[in-house]
């Protein structure tokens, strides 16, 4: 597969009340017209968290709801403009600004001084229910688990509304969607790096159980030869006075599970790192950070302007090149004016990766299990069709499993039959569903293959009764 496209990589959208997403949208559309000629327009969008700014105090919930309404309108416009309305090609994860701190405050109570020593032992021992507050100089305990779990309720409501019918989440701390885009031979593993984050704990973390439960899906896309990209919010290092970054040990597990590229935000400036390399397993993960897309004032590091990334992707059958292009606002005004930002003295930064070898035998085995154990004949057939040119025995099982599908589902698969049995199945389904275009295309294809059979002639005669 030879492919040349780009990914729009953005993060930290939390705009101020006096800023306008319409201004930002217009600037991004205008900037896309100014890319160098060799950079394709984005066909995938990755949003690495902090969609909302958040709010505290009176009317906080009302303000947060309004923020998500505004960002939803903005993202819908981006999807319409760059992706032709296809929301399956936008990947979104939450950031620390996307949690509702009012829920975490209401979920905790201060521990009396008489219980301070016991609380200290529990806290230092890593008990996840205990917190320390330097402001109040006391320990707190999470005493309302349901309230604490609701801290991402506004993000979850937005996410499920935005992706209606495409994908959804329930428990945000367990976010581990593996989003496969076969037409690009790429898959994204999306995680929430705000596990256990609240108003008293800013340390980034990904729920290890979420990573483990993503393994079957990651293994599947790896066997299909996909380039796997991890997406989360937090950076993996910080200055000594900071604790609000991700434990880098998580990269070991993500690399074990075949993730070669990690995309994140949070630190508000673009960065490309060859950060993790397992010398024993020869695993490597490259990390790319996107700057803050639309923050202002205290949210921006001194001397840093708004930024976003374009990842230019070029792939052939066994290799993939990722070129990072960073765009930076040069005005710090409400309507950004984007220009190239140099990376280590260069206009772009090239990274090379090897694509995994497709394991057709294991895919075939998974398909047989999918059909004969799970009775999911439809997805088994779709998968077998995708590998039949490389695994000839797949056609035998397509012949068998088509007999288990309804006529509607056979027509919905939309494939070119290669055997007499497949031709007969598609013709029969086309007659029953009155799909005459499919019927005619299948007859023409059978003639090109030189397949002639009395059963086909009989079906042609039968079709005349209904046309």
> Which residues contact residue 258 at a Cβ distance below 8 angstroms, ignoring those fewer than 6 apart?
218, 219, 222, 228, 356
Residue 168 near residue 177, CB atoms below 8 Å: no
The two beta strands, 186-190 and 227-231, are parallel
pLDDT of residue 323: 95
pLDDT digits (tens, 9 = 90+) for 289-338: 999 998 765 556 566 789 999 999 999 878 999 999 999 999 888 899 99
SS3 category, 48: coil
CATH superfamily of 3-100+151-354: Metallo-dependent phosphatases (3.60.21.10)
Give the residue extent of every domain in the chain: 3-100+151-354, 101-149, 372-464
Residue 91 near residue 190, CB atoms below 8 Å: yes
pLDDT of residue 274: 65
- Phi, psi of 37, rounded to the nearest 5 degrees: -60, -30
pLDDT of residue 143: 96
Residue 143 near residue 96, CB atoms below 8 Å: no
Residue 162 near residue 51, CB atoms below 8 Å: no
pLDDT of residue 278: 58
Dmax (CA) of the chain: 91
pLDDT of residue 334: 84
Residue 92: strand pairing partners: 47
Low-confidence ranges of the chain (pLDDT < 70): 1, 241, 274-283, 296-303
Distances in Å between the alpha carbon of 187 and those of 85, 89, 218, 291?
19, 10, 9, 23
What is the spatial distance between Cα 5 and Cα 13, in angstroms, rounded to a whole number?
A: 24
pLDDT of residue 384: 94
pLDDT of residue 273: 78
pLDDT digits (tens, 9 = 90+) for 198-222: 999 999 999 999 999 999 999 999 9
pLDDT digits (tens, 9 = 90+) for 135-161: 999 999 999 999 999 999 999 999 999
- Residue 258: alpha-carbon gap to chain centroid: 15
Element (H, E) at 329: strand 319-329
Residue 286 near residue 272, CB atoms below 8 Å: yes
């Amino acid at each position: 597969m030879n492919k040349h496209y780009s990914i729009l990589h953005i993060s930290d959208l939390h705009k101020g009340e006096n800023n306008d997403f319409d201004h930002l949208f217009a600037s991004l559309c205008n900037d896309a017209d100014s890319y160098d000629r060799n950079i394709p327009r984005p066909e995938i969008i990755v949003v690495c968290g902090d969609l909302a700014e958040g709010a505290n105090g009176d009317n906080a919930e009302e303000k947060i709801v309004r923020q998500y309404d505004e960002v939803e309108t903005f993202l819908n416009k981006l999807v319409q403009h760059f992706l032709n309305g296809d929301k399956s090609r936008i990947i979104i994860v939450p950031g620390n600004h996307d949690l509702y701190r009012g829920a975490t405050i209401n979920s905790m109570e201060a521990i009396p001084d008489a219980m301070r020593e016991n609380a200290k032992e529990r806290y230092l021992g890593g008990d996840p229910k205990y917190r320390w507050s330097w402001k109040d100089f006391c320990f707190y305990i999470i005493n309302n688990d349901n309230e604490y779990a609701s801290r991402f309720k506004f993000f979850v409501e937005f996410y499920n509304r935005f992706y209606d019918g495409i994908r959804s989440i329930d428990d945000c701390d367990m976010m581990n969607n593996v989003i496969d885009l076969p037409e690009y031979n790429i898959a994204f593993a999306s995680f929430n790096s705000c596990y256990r984050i609240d108003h008293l704990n800013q340390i980034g973390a990904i729920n290890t159980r979420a990573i483990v439960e993503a393994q079957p899906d990651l293994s599947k896309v790896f066997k299909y030869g996909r380039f796997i990209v991890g997406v989360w919010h937090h950076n993996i290092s910080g200055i000594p006075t900071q604790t609000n970054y991700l434990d880098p040990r998580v990269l070991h597990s993500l690399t074990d599970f075949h993730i070669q590229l990690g995309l994140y935000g949070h630190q508000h400036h673009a960065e490309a790192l060859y950060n993790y390399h397992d010398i024993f397993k020869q695993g490597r993960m490259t990390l790319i950070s996107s700057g803050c897309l639309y923050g202002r004032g205290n949210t921006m590091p001194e001397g840093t302007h708004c930024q976003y990334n374009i990842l230019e992707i070029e792939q052939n059958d066994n290799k993939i090149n990722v070129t990072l292009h960073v765009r930076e606002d040069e005005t710090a005004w409400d309507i950004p004016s984007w220009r190239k930002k140099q990376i280590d003295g260069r206009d772009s930064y090239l990274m090379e990766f090897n694509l995994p070898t497709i394991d057709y035998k294991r895919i075939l085995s998974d398909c047989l299990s999918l059909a004969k154990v799970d009775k999911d004949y439809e997805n088994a057939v779709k998968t077998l069709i995708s590998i039949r040119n490389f695994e000839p025995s797949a056609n035998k099982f397509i012949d068998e499993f088509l007999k288990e599908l309804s006529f509607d589902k056979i027509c919905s698969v939309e494939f070119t039959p290669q055997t007499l049995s497949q031709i007969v199945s598609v013709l029969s389904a086309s007659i029953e569903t009155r799909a005459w275009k499919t019927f005619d295309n299948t007859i023409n294809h059978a003639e090109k293959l030189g397949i002639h059979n009395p059963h086909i002639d009989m079906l042609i005669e039968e079709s005349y009764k209904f046309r």
